[in-house]
A and B are shown apart, each in its own frame.
Chain A
């Protein structure tokens, strides 16, 4: 059946900010869906609060709303745009939940919007665990014994029949938030109570444990004619009990017989029919008892998911794109397979390689977090690798994770001395992010596969593969480098060992192994991902490396640019950088280059085979990247490389690649290095006469003390070369400084610590600029932080245009930015961080590369900065692109971060110089207050529009506070203040009650917060004495969801937001309307 002709305009809901459990895989899926719908001639109306997405680029949809993902805002959009249909299946749980809300509130019916892709009924059956269980039982499909509880009393009754261990799953939460496993009644009490609280419907499912069973997923699709296909089977290497997002997974499933697999497939077909997903993709999870083969269905997601993104990347089958077409009424056999072109999409991909995905966690940023892996997802990203064998894919995945020393798995030092048997056993029994490494230590110590299997319940087949790797290691170590035969070297490479890993085994450098390998004539070949195991010709150069006979790279002679991606998502290096890489690719393709992407993150748009002309799904290491470059230029093509867009990952490779003779376009790696090198950079600023905080470098405790003696406390300390503020801290006294230097970062001559004077209570600002080779510089925007100084820029809300900054300072900032860009010979993007204190503008940091704020600023100005930068890098000039003046935002835009604290109970929620947010939202409006309100609503902050405000500010802020306090009083707020602030405000005629600060006595402000007697907090930093007091107040506010602003800019915004919300409410506006009048097409 051809597509429905009655649909003209489709509303697509995105998934909002990147959070744990819902990351950029939904940008990948959503973008694909939008493109597919538009290719069919439909108009797309898109709503997503996340500006760092490709899907919110104005050319992806007709109408793009970067607005809060709430029922109210969606209703406004629907009212204005009158879509015929809503596609809720490509925006994760967020979009599904919103669709149900809109349907139940009657909004869809009122405006005649049809839900396509999944009905409310289907969503509910799939999402409501009890209904799912009943539905399964009604068609004779086995499920774990379970029951639903709506109170703790019901729960404790139920667990008597379910027994221990019991799984607790809150209804309707993302990525299993609030779920867990209880082995005893005490744990049960805690997890059940938390689950009841976190579930939006206050219900939890208590379920028979199938912990330790083998876990499988099928990615399936169904069309309106009831055609059904399995796109991919995925096996979880970590057995049941660990969330699939936290499991190492492999595709295809490797330990199922055909009979078992077909039974699973039969069930999947019955399940999708019963749940009633009429068109589109679903993910269905199964558990198999390894001892008896008993199989149970665990759950189903009636939408695209993280696993479907993985399955798409693993097979080359674009699930989201096809799902969008099916929703329009097409049947699978009417849609061509892009890759083979001649065959239809109504088939099941078969793969002739192995795909391994390993999650990446960021526990180092949350030291108090429980690292145990359970049914609640905790990882922030993942790396995927492809090899011809499991061993090869596994080792490639490990090195794709970029874990540095922590990633070393084959040559972990022998642990017999420091690690006793009992503690190793414990590490094997309790799944954590480090268990895999413990498995290798145990096998390396000679523990048998059986023994390790009994402790971990990981299938012996996988353990045997690990043991084979260790056996190869041992064999190689025995032989040594001199005697290493060509045969053994070939076996090692075929098994996935990197040159560096071989070097570590035989104690020589990576370079020596590399030389030997090249002398031996061993180099990787590239195989294509073609959905059909080579049965048909493929037309999509989507490739992976392996050590085999035949190479299918077929590189050609066109001039090309290789874009290095940003690897697995992690806090500090996320979707923003992938966004920039994609934009660079789009621009360079338009400039006539053949574009080549190298990346290993399956969640991203950059690893969509549509994004570049050629895609290599490969680890971002020197060895892997260099091999691709060599192959790509083997036919004489002019090959250059772009390292500016992918964050720290490609930057680390810049100098080695340059040394190997690779042409790097844009700002020279030396300039990048100069900006990173504090000493060289301090001298540069000095020479330019630009103020900077006093600073120094220390490689020991004594040196650190010397530095501080000359610059004074407080100081900001950090290891050199970090992203996302890893290991950064603000230090107020010598004892903490000593501890930091000696234990936290282990400073040494190779790893110096950078010490900067901390500018207390300064304003901070961020600038992104683009510069061309002729020295023209255009400033993309000056972003004013709304949080106080000392909070990582990625964790700080910010606003463009700046709000309370005098023009003379803005002029200095523009001038400094131009001078620095010219001095560094920046070609492309540059980010500068400034602080204003005591009427002086200081430069804190310069990064001559794409920054986290580039997508946000691009959305705010309507100018795609990363595309501009890419064009400049290949020789275009700013005047050629029509960019003669600094960019102006098209409205007021506020960016706010989102944090993963809810997933890590007990973790300190305080912000500091180390970045902790996972994602961001943007609020846009014509006034600061409205934009701020939208941003806050988008991150889920609730406002009280009346009540009590607590105010405590430093002396510098007091004069400006009066108006804000008066406005609050006018709005009817009762004012509470600390003693000094209260006195000051009273002197200005305001009625204020005094309240104790935390250390002054009780009840203190913190007590009032706990009692929910305070509805908003204005607390600007008061300096060293009150540092800890402030922290306590802010922590209490965060824990109780009370808005807490730490700058007067923020306070003014908050007050104005409250006024707007009370007086006129908020309106929505499409990006396309903001941009009316701006020349597009850059």
Chain B
């Protein structure tokens, strides 16, 4: 079946339907990771976005229960060059196409994704619509222009958990025993019982898997949970998760982070959590032209001078010159010099813009979980 991708600048591409039939809209972004499409599909940070994979072959190894980052796909739509009709992997439980159809994700294949990526790179990310069947491209362009922009959008409300829950108690979905042995061994395990309270702004499960691997118990709270409620659980540390959309559009979350920061507890933030921490400290965020989405971004750790290859997924960034003087920059992106992490000069509070939990991507920054553990244990 035919499908069309139309963009707000009037560009449109004809392809073939590769997922559920229908129409979808969102901000069109690209991801340069060559593996991990299922993790990307299910990463709640992609809520509201249509993701283009630059790697041409997608779906080759199918889908597996253990490769999900949140139970179900969260992207608004999916763009590929060459979707695979079959799944070939010992862990696969089904094909990508069936998975997309089952979860009602509209996807398009047969697209010159490189041309699209070059367009997004030079013009910046833009709004777009994918529609299957015989559609009028002009109308779809108009639709793309009418959807709300990402700036000012609170997408966290859409993806955060409704109820607090514990991890790793009753697994929230069918577990995949094969994942276990594929996981990276932790640098060490907790010396004592540690409880982490995690704010879920669109939390990737691999963060929970990593914390659990290090021996932590985690209680996951909805984004709207007041700081007092979170602190009342007497956590050894508070974790601020990744999530979708514009951090500046989340005043409630910023307020709660401010409350947490005032308490005497180690705090670790990733991605949106990092941005919220910055905003809570009075810094500002801004939208990047086309964001960082991929698994190959070099980040320099300033204290050791070492380079980490990182997993990234963000469209907004923190302006480093707006950070307060009581924090110091710890990590910098070597591609464009943007801020990748900072830490409080005296208190156990730190955060990174990128994804140390990887999934997909390299494990180079896994030590950050150990540092969080160190911070919690040394209290």
State the A residues within 8 Å of B (CB): 225-229, 233, 252, 254-263, 265-266, 290-293, 331-333, 343-344, 346-354, 388-390, 459-461, 464, 468, 527, 532-537, 548-550, 552
- Report yes or no: B61 in contact with A257, Cβ–Cβ below 8 A: yes
B379 CB-CB contact with A under 8 Å? no
Query: Could you pull out 19 A-B pairs where Cβ atoms are within 8 angstroms?
Result: A252-B34, A259-B179, A262-B184, A262-B361, A262-B362, A262-B363, A290-B90, A331-B307, A332-B307, A343-B298, A343-B334, A344-B334, A348-B362, A350-B32, A389-B82, A533-B55, A535-B121, A550-B114, A550-B115
Could you say which residues of chain A place their CB within 8 Å of the CB of B90?
Answer: 290-293
C-alpha spacing A289/B190, complex, angstroms: 33
In the complex with contacts A225-B306, A389-B56, A347-B297 CB distance below 8 A: yes
Q: Is the CB of B363 within 8 A of A350?
A: no
The verdict on B224 contacting chain A, using a C-beta distance below 8 Å, is no
Whether B360 pairs with A461 at a CB distance below 8 angstroms is no
In the complex, the chain A residue whose C-beta lies closest to that of B206 is A259
Measured CA separation A532–B117 after assembly (Å): 11
Query: Closest Cβ of chain A: how far from B135's Cβ, in Å?
Result: 18
Q: How far is the CB of B304 from chain A (nearest CB, A)?
A: 8
**Closest residue to B34 on the A side, CB-wise?**
A252
By beta carbon, the residue of chain B nearest A352 is B54
- A261 and B67 CA atoms in complex are apart in Å by 13
Q: How far is the CA of A934 from the CA of B335 in the complex (A)?
A: 51
Residue in A343, A535, A549 whose beta carbon sits within 8 Å of that of B294 in the complex: A535
Contacts of A229 in B (CB 8 A): 309
Whether A533 pairs with B32 at a CB distance below 8 angstroms is yes
Chain B residues within 8 Å of A254, by CB: 57, 60
From A259, A261, A350, B296 is in contact (CB under 8 Å) with A350
Cβ < 8 Å to A, chain B residues 42-77: 54-57, 60-61, 64, 66-67
A257: B residues at CB distance < 8 A = 35-36, 38, 61, 64, 67, 89, 91
Known: A262-B362, A348-B296, A534-B54. A548 touches B86 (CB 8 A): no
Give chain B nearest CB distance to A448 CB in angstroms: 12
Q: Give CA–CA (A461, B61) in the complex, Å.
A: 8
For A291, what are the chain B residues with a Cβ–Cβ distance below 8 Å?
A: 90
A-contact bits for B340-364, CB 8 A (1 contact / 0 none): 0000000000000000001111111
Q: How far, in whole Å, are A259 and B335 apart by their CA atoms in the complex?
A: 25
Contact A350 B33 (CB under 8 A): yes
Q: Is B89's CB under 8 angstroms from A255's CB? A: yes
B298 touches A255 (CB 8 A): no
In B25-40, the 8 Å CB interface with A consists of: 30, 32-36, 38-39
Chain B positions 156-175 with a Cβ under 8 Å from a chain A Cβ: none
User: Are A333 and B307 in contact, with the CB atoms below 8 A?
Assistant: yes
- Pick from A233, A259, A354: contact of B182, CB under 8 Å: A259
Partner of B85, one of A351, A464, A534: A464
Evaluate whether A533 and B114 lie within 8 angstroms (CB atoms) in the complex, with A347-B334, A350-B296 already known: yes
Chain B residues at the A interface, C-beta cutoff of 8 Å: 13, 30, 32-36, 38-39, 54-57, 60-61, 64, 66-67, 81-82, 84-86, 88-91, 112-115, 117-118, 121, 178-179, 181-184, 294-298, 300, 305-307, 309, 334-335, 358-364
Q: In the complex, how many angstroms separate the beta carbon of B69 from the nearest chain A beta carbon?
A: 11
Write the chain B residue with the least CB distance to A528: B114
Query: Is A548's CB under 8 angstroms from B112's CB?
Result: yes
* Contact between chains at A258 and B39 (CB < 8 Å): yes
Interfacial chain B residues near A343, Cβ < 8 Å: 298, 334-335
Cα separation A354 to B54 with both chains bound (whole Å): 12
B67 touches A347 (CB 8 A): no
Contact A346 B88 (CB under 8 A): no
CB < 8 Å neighbour of A258 from B13, B67, B82, B305: B67
Determine whether the beta carbon of B67 is less than 8 Å from that of A352: no
Q: Which residues of A contact B38 (CB under 8 A)?
A: 257
Smallest CB–CB gap between B169 and chain A, Å? 23
List A contacts of B34 (CB < 8 A).
233, 252, 350-351
Q: Known contacts A262-B358, A331-B305; can you find 13 more A-B pairs with CB under 8 A? A: A225-B305, A255-B89, A262-B360, A293-B91, A293-B182, A331-B307, A333-B298, A350-B295, A354-B57, A388-B82, A461-B88, A536-B121, A537-B121
Could you tell me the distance in whole angstroms from the C-beta of B136 to the nearest C-beta in chain A?
A: 20
User: Which of chain A's residues has its CB closest to B176's CB?
Assistant: A259
Question: In the assembled complex, which residues on chain B have CB atoms less than 8 Å from the CB atom of A252?
Answer: 34, 55
Report which residue of B88, B295, B358 has the largest number of chain A beta carbons within 10 angstroms of its beta carbon.
B88
Residues on A with C-beta less than 8 A from B86 are 460-461, 464
Question: Does B358 lie within 8 Å of A527, measured CB to CB?
Answer: no
The answer to whether A352 touches B56, judged by C-beta atoms less than 8 angstroms apart, is: yes
Given the known inter-chain contacts A258-B36, A262-B362, please indicate yes or no for A350 contacting B13, CB distance below 8 A. Answer: no
A255 touches B334 (CB 8 A): no
Q: Residue of A at shortest CB range from B35?
A: A258
Cβ contact within 8 Å between A352 and B117 = yes
Whether the Cβ atoms of B35 and A261 lie closer than 8 Å is yes
Question: How far is A350 from B182 in the complex, measured between Cα atoms in Å?
Answer: 23
Tell me if A534 and B112 are in contact (CB < 8 A). no
Q: Given the complex, which residues of A lie within 8 Å of B56, measured CB to CB?
A: 352-354, 388-389
Given contacts A229-B309, A255-B60, A464-B85, contact A352 B36 (CB under 8 A): no
**In the complex, chain B residues whose CB is within 8 Å of the CB of A258:** 33, 35-36, 39, 67, 295, 359-361
Query: Is the CB–CB distance between B306 and A389 below 8 Å?
Result: no
A259 to B360, CA, bound (A): 7
Contact A255 B61 (CB under 8 A): yes
CA distance in complex: A536, B34 (Å): 16
With both beta carbons as reference points, the residue of chain B lying nearest to A390 in the complex is identified as: B57
* Known contacts A254-B57, A255-B88, A333-B334; A535 and B32 CB within 8 A of each other: yes
Residue pair B114, A459 in contact (C-beta under 8 Å):
no
Q: How far is the CB of A907 from chain B (nearest CB, A)?
A: 39
Q: Ordered nearest first, which 9 A-B pairs have the shortest CB separation? A: A258-B36, A550-B115, A258-B360, A533-B54, A461-B88, A258-B35, A348-B296, A259-B182, A549-B112
The residues of B that contact A552 with a CB separation of less than 8 Å are 118
Is there an interface contact between B32 and A532, defined as CB atoms closer than 8 Å? yes
Measured CA separation A351–B53 after assembly (Å): 11
A293 / chain B contacts, CB cutoff of 8 Å: 90-91, 178, 181-182
Which residues of the partner chain A approach B334 to less than 8 Å between Cβ atoms?
A: 333, 343-344, 346-347
Indicate whether A347 sits within 8 Å of B309 (C-beta atoms), given known contacts A534-B118, A548-B114, A550-B115. yes
Q: Closest residue to B308 on the A side, CB-wise?
A: A227
Most buried by A among B85, B88, B114: B114
Verify A460–B117 contact, CB threshold 8 A: no
CB closest chain-B residue, reference A551:
B115
Q: Enumerate chain B residues within 8 angstroms of A332, measured Cβ to Cβ.
A: 307
Minimum distance in angstroms from A393 CB to a CB of chain B: 10
* Contact present for A348 and B89 (CB under 8 Å): no
In Å, the complex CA distance between A508 and B30 comes to: 42
B309: A residues at CB distance < 8 A: 228-229, 346-348
List, in ascending order, chain A residues with CB within 8 A of B184's CB. Answer: 262-263, 266
With CB as the reference atom, state the residue of chain A lying closest to B184. Answer: A266
Complex CA distance for A390 and B86, rounded to whole angstroms:
14
A254 CB, min distance to chain B CBs, angstroms: 5
Residues of chain A lying within 8 A (CB to CB) of residue B115: 548-550
Task: Name A468's closest neighbour in chain B (CB-CB).
Answer: B85
In this complex, what residue of B is CB-closest to A291?
B90
Q: In the assembly, what is the distance between CA of A527 and CA of B307, in Å? A: 30
Q: Are A350 and B54 in touch, CB under 8 angstroms?
A: yes
A257 to chain B: closest residue by CB = B61
The answer for the CA separation of A23 and B24 in the assembled complex, in Å, is: 53
Instruction: Report which of B64, B91, B113, B363 forms a contact with A352, defined as CB distance below 8 A.
Output: B113
Q: For B36, what are the chain A residues with a Cβ–Cβ distance below 8 Å?
A: 257-258
Taking CB as reference atom, which chain A residue is nearest B39?
A258
- A533 touching B182, Cβ below 8 Å: no
Q: Are A346 and B307 in contact (CB under 8 A)?
A: yes
* Cα separation A331 to B298 with both chains bound (whole Å): 13
Task: Return chain B residues, CB-CB under 8 Å to A347.
Answer: 296-298, 309, 334-335
Q: A533-B32, A535-B32, A549-B13 are in contact. Are A259 and B294 (CB under 8 A)?
A: no
Known: A255-B61, A350-B54. A534 touches B296 (CB 8 A): no
Chain B nearest CB: distance from A500 CB in Å? Answer: 24
